[in-house]
Structures are given as structure tokens and as C-alpha cells.
């Protein structure tokens, strides 16, 4: 009987090792995330209805990875910014989307691993990725304030809303973040910009409650 138990345990270990090799080794990815839309995400019903069919087709998304691995590659320290553009408001998942991405990474393997994360976990949000390049990205997060800049590409300046109003009045939050977050909050966007490129002409938005931020949960 004991011999069968030992053989069974050996089979379980062998199967587990095979699965790990087949799927690639990954650990939970954590960090900070912020996005800003070209439409208010926290507003009165009339304001929302006035925007939903006319704007909200673009967004700037930014990541700062603090820990985690993907297919055995350590992603800690990576920073990235993406701009996504859609034919319709980003709340409509069936609208065609395209995106550009800038990655500030230590090496080629890390950058490639993060692109694979985006294609695997955020394909619906980003749509067709038309451009990926490596460049400097700054990501500053201090007490609910976010400042992100990818030179000659995109910028974000987002602050926490006073008194966590988005939590006290959840009926005024009309959208959900483009990626899954822990402790999601709505932020005030002082400024969000796209310098123009593969997705089209430059744009700038600001002075509106158009941002989401929180902790990554991948």
C-alpha cells in the first residue's frame, strides 16, 4: 500500500513539473497603475450622456511594476505607458482599438515579457498593438498624486479626489478601469496628453474627473 502512495506522490510531482514547463513560470505581478480617459468617469447623468457618444475614445494608461515574474523573467522596476484609441467610446468593447506602447525597461527580455503580459492579459483593452518602443518613462506616485511622462509620447498628471467622493457616491461612476485593479479610485486629471503618432493627431484633455488609479492585480 505504501509503495502505491509513494508512486502516486511521484506522479503528482512529475505532472506539476510538466505543467510548469509547459505554461512558463510566473508569479503574481504587483505595482501601481493609473489611466486617464478623454471623458469624465465621475459625473452627473446629464454630463455622462452628453459625452458617451461623442468622446471617450482615447486613453493614456501607465504601469509601474514593483514585483512579479512572467515566464521566469523578473519585471520589477519596469515602467510603461500606452495610448489606446478606439472607433467608439472605450466603454463599448466591440469597437476596434489600436494602441502604442513605450516601455522603460532594463533589458530586452524584460520588455518582451511585459509585452507578452499585455497581449495575454489586456488584449481586449489595448486592441491591435501597432507600435512598441523602448524609451525613458517617469512614474511618480505620492499620496494619491501621479505624474507620468514618456518624452515625445504621452503625459499624465492625476490627483486623488477630495474626501474619496467616488466611494461615497458610486452611482456617479460610469465606467470601469481598462485593467483590473485592487482598491480602485477615481482621480482628477489636471492634464493628459498624447503627442501624436501612429494613432493619429495629438490631443490634450484636463481639468476633469477622468482618471482611475489603484494597485495592479495580475
Residue 10 lies in a domain: no
Split into its structural domains, the chain has a count of 1
- Residue 199's Cα: distance from chain center in Å? 18
129 grid coordinates:
498593438
From the list 27, 38, 29, 25, the residue with the least C-alpha distance to 181 is 29
Query: What number of H helices and E strands is found in the chain?
Result: 5, 12
Contact 179, 29 (CB under 8 A): no
Q: What is the DSSP string of 3-19?
A: HHHHHHHHHHHHHHHHH
pLDDT at residue 25 in the model: 60
Residue 107, SS3? coil
Residue with cell 515574474: 69
Residue 128 lies in a domain: yes
Residue 20 lies in a domain: no
Range of the domain at 211: 25-216
How far is it between the farthest Cα atoms of the chain?
A: 72
Q: What is the CATH number of the domain that holds 187?
A: 2.40.400
37 grid coordinates:
480617459
Residue 149 lies in a domain: yes
Mean pLDDT value of segment 90-95: 88
Residue 206 lies in a domain: yes
Q: What is the CA radius of gyration of the chain?
A: 20
Residue 156 lies in a domain: yes
Residue 199 lies in a domain: yes
Mean pLDDT value of segment 136-150: 95
Residue 4 lies in a domain: no
- What does the pLDDT look like over 21-41, one tens digit per residue? 334 467 899 999 999 999 999
List b or e across 140-162, with b for residues whose CB sees 16 or more CB atoms inside 10 angstroms.
ebeeebbbbbbeebbbbbbbbbe
- What does the pLDDT look like over 173-207, one tens digit per residue? 999 999 999 999 999 999 999 999 999 999 999 99
Amino acid at each position: 500500500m505504501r509503495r502505491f502512495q509513494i508512486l502516486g506522490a511521484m506522479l503528482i510531482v512529475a505532472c506539476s513539473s510538466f505543467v510548469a514547463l509547459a505554461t512558463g513560470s510566473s508569479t503574481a505581478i504587483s505595482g501601481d497603475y493609473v489611466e486617464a480617459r478623454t471623458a469624465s468617469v465621475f459625473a452627473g447623468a446629464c454630463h455622462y450622456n452628453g459625452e458617451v457618444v461623442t468622446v471617450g475614445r482615447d486613453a493614456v494608461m501607465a504601469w509601474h511594476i514593483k514585483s512579479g515574474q512572467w515566464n521566469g523573467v523578473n519585471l520589477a522596476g519596469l515602467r510603461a505607458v500606452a495610448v489606446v484609441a478606439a472607433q467608439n467610446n472605450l466603454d463599448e468593447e466591440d469597437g476596434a482599438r489600436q494602441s502604442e506602447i513605450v516601455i522603460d525597461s532594463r533589458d530586452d527580455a524584460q520588455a518582451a515579457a511585459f509585452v507578452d503580459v499585455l497581449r495575454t492579459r489586456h488584449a481586449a483593452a489595448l486592441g491591435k498593438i501597432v507600435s512598441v518602443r523602448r524609451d525613458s518613462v517617469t512614474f511618480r506616485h505620492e499620496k494619491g498624486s501621479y505624474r507620468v511622462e514618456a518624452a515625445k509620447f504621452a503625459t499624465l498628471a492625476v490627483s486623488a479626489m477630495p474626501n474619496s467622493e467616488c466611494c461615497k457616491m458610486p452611482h456617479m461612476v460610469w465606467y470601469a478601469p481598462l485593467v483590473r485593479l485592487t482598491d480602485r479610485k477615481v482621480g482628477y486629471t489636471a492634464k493628459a496628453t498624447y503627442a501624436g503618432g501612429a494613432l493619429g493627431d495629438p490631443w490634450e484633455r484636463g481639468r476633469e474627473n477622468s482618471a482611475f488609479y489603484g494597485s495592479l492585480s495580475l
